[in-house]
A and B are shown apart, each in its own frame.
Chain A
């Protein structure tokens, strides 16, 4: 059993990223899409933290910023979603096409 190395982290991060992208592309519920976006961001965080083992703490600092940014993004996203739900009574992304010609 080889010790857990950087590559393991990267593989898990890639898996998380793919899961997130699949979630974003396939799910119709906007809430789930927002959660999937969180997955993608956390995959990136995992990458940054993994690389910081090799190149120092910069990666970890960046990941803190990204967590903050993700919280703000989720707040704004959910706020827009609630405002939208009040108008259209739906959270299905394929019914949200107001800006279409």
Chain B
């Protein structure tokens, strides 16, 4: 159990890589940077694999039990300091460990984060080879890996929050990697600020949980939530879960906080692949899945999650239909797929949602890396209108990206088919009637997804070449360090789906034993959702459920067929419209319904609306609009009315004081006190003339007087 016991080293390796870059990176050669940073992440991956392997052994002897390794008490003491009163009035003491937890859920994340992370590190060696700030880039990437692994492996919400903030910071740093470009630094700020809004929700949710449950340790919270002490629909839990979901919305780019993700494409493409497609943006899904015991107790929150997820899925997909920037299409695709994941979580299909995260990580990372390879070949051009016919010159990129497109479009047997179908099926079969609508939304989204992805492929790789001659001359396949990850990810995009092979299909080909390994693996995390409260209900449902499964199976095949049909329809439509694209083409949708095209092209004017409502960039004269305007109005009111009143009171007091001092100076001091003194002085004037200061004259007067007296008395 060496690797499992030393699981805390997993985040530490990339942290050391980042520290090395921070202190010595400037002086290191590119080869040295490669060895340190890529080596650290590769070592992390190996370590993670071995740790998960050992966890499997561990769970054999402790079925369903998460492995926990507490290093030391990080916050609080557990000895009665930092005490507070819980909502029910009983005292509790705040306590958070530097502790690491490995259970099936974190194992899934651990494996794909380190795996995809390693591939993207390798890819970046080729992609960033000609860029400045090489060590800075890899330092940030390693720092990101450290934060993400802390987020995943933390055994309590506080440690998770540390990782959560860390990935936010790294996202900011990497979006703004080309900081000399104003648009990049603006996009970085946007990402950071929008994420802060979500983080505020996360923090408040955390506080609510602490206040209600008295602990932030996942195991404690889950045990309590499943203990049956709490009613389903408990308002405090609803509030806590909604607040947590606000945090998830920020990090995982859901309506209304999704706006930062498309702009995040300003960062280097490997960053988009690693952070803004495969790993970081799934942190919200991880957090909600991690809190599944709470969400199950709050059906209203679940409904909100499902609706927001579904709305985001179709909303972002529809924007993606008409975007021209290759990375922007993929960004909206990511937002849309994240919506899918939340849709799954919201209808209670946690395992399906996590499965989609897992498969999505591979094919979306592949798509981004492929687009990076395309951009590399196109000398930095990102506009698909200026591409075309690249498939001859960049065959590996072309074929691997096509595999990823098949996967995301949901064409069997590629990975996306299994995960997406699982979600659609779960949305359909959920016991709540409203979820049929969610299925419909998901279905339309799947159609759109297939369309915009094949549109991207045809515009990029087929049709007539539309780039300048200079660029065309320069087109080349990327170096091995870039194509190798593409190939590996392509293989993963094909086989990953089979980990979650649905029972219904297995039955068709005559397999009777468990085939949905993924769901089975995650069972300890999700299976006991609802807990004891549902226990008596569950007993009755097992019988009914078995029957229901038999009953609805034909429907499952039907839906599967429909979704494959949607994927093929999307493919066909894109093939029809974009196969022969040449210079000066117009979008078919722009010809048919220009207003709709305009709305979609401008992303429903959401950024503009936010400018009106929140950012204060819109002004009438010098007056900002929206919340900022309100703030400025409040500020004006404060400085002019409130402070004015205060100042007026001060001025009035000063005025009265001045009058009073004048009375004192002129009347009291002047007339009453100094008056008699002046009078006395005036009276004394003639007398003092006698004192003229010459002593000898006084003596003379005296002598004359004496002589006078003597003469008088002598001669009278």
Binding site for B on A (CB under 8 A): 21, 24-26, 33, 93-94, 96-97, 99-101
Contacts and interface: CB of A to CB of B under 8 A. Distances in A.
17 contacts: A21-B703, A24-B696, A24-B699, A25-B696, A25-B699, A26-B696, A33-B696, A93-B694, A93-B696, A94-B696, A96-B695, A97-B694, A99-B693, A100-B691, A100-B693, A101-B688, A101-B691
Interface of B: 688, 691-696, 699-700, 703
Contacts of A25: 696, 699-700, 703
Given A21-B703, A25-B703, A100 B696 contact: no
Contacts, number: 24
| B691, B693, B700, B703 — most chain A CB neighbours (10 Å) | B693
A24 B699 CA distance: 8
Contact of A93 (B691, B692, B695, B703): B695
Given A21-B703, A25-B703, A97 B693 contact: yes
Nearest to A27: B696
A41 to B, nearest CB: 15
Interface of B is mostly: helix
Contacts of B703: 21, 25
Nearest to A100: B693
A100 B695 CA distance: 10
Given A24-B696, A100-B692, 14 more contacts: A24-B699, A25-B699, A25-B700, A33-B696, A93-B694, A93-B695, A93-B696, A94-B694, A96-B695, A97-B693, A97-B694, A100-B693, A101-B688, A101-B691
Contacts of A24: 696, 699
Contacts of B693: 97, 99-100
Contacts of B699: 24-25
Contacts of B692: 100
Q: Which 9 A-B pairs have the closest CB atoms?
A: A97-B693, A100-B693, A101-B688, A25-B700, A25-B696, A101-B691, A94-B694, A93-B695, A100-B691
Nearest to A94: B694
Contacts of A96: 695
Contacts of B688: 101
A36 to B, nearest CB: 10
Contacts of B695: 93, 96-97
A6 B340 CA distance: 149
A87 to B, nearest CB: 17
Contacts of A33: 696
A8 to B, nearest CB: 22
Contacts of B700: 25
A96 B693 CA distance: 8
Nearest to B697: A25
A76 B695 CA distance: 18
A100 B699 CA distance: 16
Contacts of A94: 694, 696
Nearest to B706: A21
A100 B696 CA distance: 14
A34 to B, nearest CB: 13
Nearest to B687: A101
A11 to B, nearest CB: 17
Q: Which of B688, B695, B699 has the most CB of A within 10 A?
A: B695
Nearest to A96: B695
A21 B699 CA distance: 9
A81 to B, nearest CB: 13
Contacts of B694: 93-94, 97
A92 to B, nearest CB: 11
Contacts of A21: 703
A91 to B, nearest CB: 13
A58 B583 CA distance: 151
B460 to A, nearest CB: 106
A101 B692 CA distance: 8
Nearest to A97: B693
A99 B692 CA distance: 10
A70 to B, nearest CB: 18
Nearest to A26: B696
Nearest to A33: B696
A9 to B, nearest CB: 20
A97 B696 CA distance: 11
A33 B695 CA distance: 11
Nearest to A24: B699
A24 B694 CA distance: 12
Contacts of A100: 691-693
B562 to A, nearest CB: 119
A94 B693 CA distance: 8
Contacts of A101: 688, 691
A35 to B, nearest CB: 15
Contacts of A93: 694-696
A99 B693 CA distance: 7
A24 B700 CA distance: 9
Nearest to B695: A93
A24 B164 CA distance: 106
A71 to B, nearest CB: 22
A7 B421 CA distance: 159
A14 B20 CA distance: 117
A100 B698 CA distance: 13
A21 B695 CA distance: 13
A21 to B, nearest CB: 6
Contacts of A26: 696
A5 B694 CA distance: 41
Contacts of A99: 693
A97 B700 CA distance: 16
A40 to B, nearest CB: 11
Contacts of B691: 100-101
B682 to A, nearest CB: 14
A24 B693 CA distance: 16
A94 B696 CA distance: 8
**Looking at A25, A26, A96, which has the most chain B CB atoms within 10 Å of its CB?**
A25
B99 to A, nearest CB: 88
A94 B700 CA distance: 14
A26 to B, nearest CB: 7
A101 B695 CA distance: 14
A97 B688 CA distance: 14
A97 B697 CA distance: 12
